[in-house]
Structure 1
Amino acid sequence: MARGRRPGKEAVHCEGIRMVKRIGVMTSGGDCAGLNAAIRAIVLHADAHGWEVVGIEDGTLGLYERPMRARRLHPEEFDGILLRRAGTILGTVSHGDPFAFRMPDGSVVDQSDRMIEGMRTLGIEALICIGGDGSFRILDRLCRKGGIPLVGVPKTIDNDVYGTDAAIGFNTAVEVAVEALDRLQPTAQSHDRVMVLEVMGRDAGHIAIHAAVAGGADICLIPEIPYSFDNVAAKLTAVRASGRSFSLVVVAEAVRTDKGEPVARPKPDGGIRYGGIGQWLADRIESELGIDSRVTVLGHVQRGAEPIAVDRVVASALGIHAVDLIASGRTGTVAVWSRRSVGELPLAEVVGRSRPVEPDDILVRTAAGLGIYVGETAACPAVP
């Protein structure tokens, strides 16, 4: 009997999918809190079906390398320690596209057949990818080519995966940002300063707007909503005129200058890496308003925290549901969290779409109702 398999548990055969005995799981893209909780749920629930689980290390790179980097995951490994641990025990990368794989000499080669061969060699009959939209797009294409059923589990601190209310890691990232604001407020008050907090948010401002509301910010700038520096200045001036000598500002990393210019630097692979808008804003406030300003950039601190309870719950529920989707033959789907329940959407409906903060989002309206300047939107009243 295979190690970790419970007596009397046989592989489940369901109409629409061949009998499954071994599934693979990988984490892909950026790391975040809650990944290990999802892996744990997948392994424990798969074991209840009598299935083996193979963990693929470092996403698609684990399938490319020879010998491959993959290992059996046994239920007894997943005690309460891993449930609490940040990051991912499998490792993850945000590169390694099988269809455009960058070789050591700089050339780009299609290595999809090599990676499909890797999954077949490992005996993987279905794959669960814990990732974001980019990972789903790549793995969907790879698994379709190889005829391997795929289920996606959404994770991203940006919370911009289409169709899910919460992606794994988002709530913990917000908690880190709110804790930062809680610590910045007393020092801002002590020194009569403007404190600018730059948070992650490459394409969406979910972390920023949630943190601003929960952390009592005066200004929140996000990529989805244009803003005017004149109105930023007017808000800060109004706060001071009210008798309060300090302010808190939250800005997402992908926000552009008021001239529409990105604040970023080039990456070796040709992309760009955001970061610096907080310093640009603080410098502008000091130079034009004469108010002492400081900036704090959270960066990867938001990724590395231990998962808070809600992320452990969401990760566990999505992991269980991903296994159930394979068992029922409903593959080619993404497990989603909606209204405190699980569901699924076709991969084709999720891939290539995003979930930005809409101008009429409840959090935007809530922020505006609290008097937070959130940019030039109908929900935001005129700055006094």
Structure 2
Amino acid sequence: MVDEQNIYEAALTRLPGVGAQLTRQLVSYCGSPKAVFQAPPGKLLKIPGVGPKLVKSIAEHARTALVQAEECVKRATEEGVQLLFYTSPKYPDRLKQVPDAPTMLYYRGNANLNQRRIVSMVGTRQISAYGQTVTERIVEELKAYNVMIVSGLAYGVDVVAHRAALQAGLPTIGVMASGPDIVYPAVHRKYAERMLTQGGLLTENTFGTKPDAPRFPARNRIIAGMSDCTIVVEAAMKSGTLITADIAHSYDKEVMAVPGNITSPVSEGTNYLIKSLKAVAYTSVQDLVELLNWDLEDEAAAKTTVAAFNPADYSEDELKVLSVLKQTREEHIDNLSWKAQLPVSLLASVLLGLEFKGIIKAMPGKRFQLI
């Protein structure tokens, strides 16, 4: 049976001129993807960023988008692909925080995309013997911390990291620049199939999408956005790997780089990142543990056995809001709306109730802070 909600979610991604941020705006004000399609023009025109031209476009393309979406959802069901709209609890929370996060992800696998600790490993396709040894060592060191390894399933550092994670028993996610039905490069299919039972394959592209060149930088933002830290093992000065590091920086994510031989072309990029203070040097797992405060987290977790909030004291909607604010401490009402999956109209009353309970306080500029 085809899920009606999935159809409307998928249809939103097929409307011309409706990007990720505008999609969030529409859903936030209308309440759901289905409500966007059912909303009268007058209501849509009251939404910030929506003009007469867009309203007309939505009306003209709605039927085609819904037909295409129904076909997509049917195929996803048949092929075991999960469609993760940004409001889905299975959607990566870390990725949800970045401004250009995909509206929808196509996912095959069994890993929890919100695992406690996630690290991305990226680097050159022309990996050296040193790079291979270091990549395998890093993954082995991360085993004690039950880390999920994310990479791009490409030649070189990517596939070595995936393979090492499989051997270490760690979950590993391959983020693809193609559709969920196309494994690229095809020679890595055997690893991709193993990852389906020990991790998974993730993409923002629909079925049949070829891995064209422009899709790789877009793929890299997902790799950077869904992890706590991006580790660059080896990279040339002009490479997609350094683009991934820059993207991670723009997201305020941690970046680490492995120091390399100064005579090696594939170490020029990593040494540059360290020299220019764009990355912290990785020499052992302790460097990563201290950078991300994993040691302090573990100490705090050992001492804390009682949750900060008693669920019995709050409604389901209040707990959604508190869950978001526990992670970020402070949020704008629009961001809070889509992160908590509550329409703005309902969110306003929920926030007022939490203010009365003395749990949050309103800040200038429609921002709310956890006390």
Q: Same fold (TM over 0.5)?
A: no
TM-score (norm 2): 0.21
Find the structure with the greater CA-based Rg: 1
Name the structure where helix makes up a greater proportion of residues.
2
TM-score (norm 1): 0.21
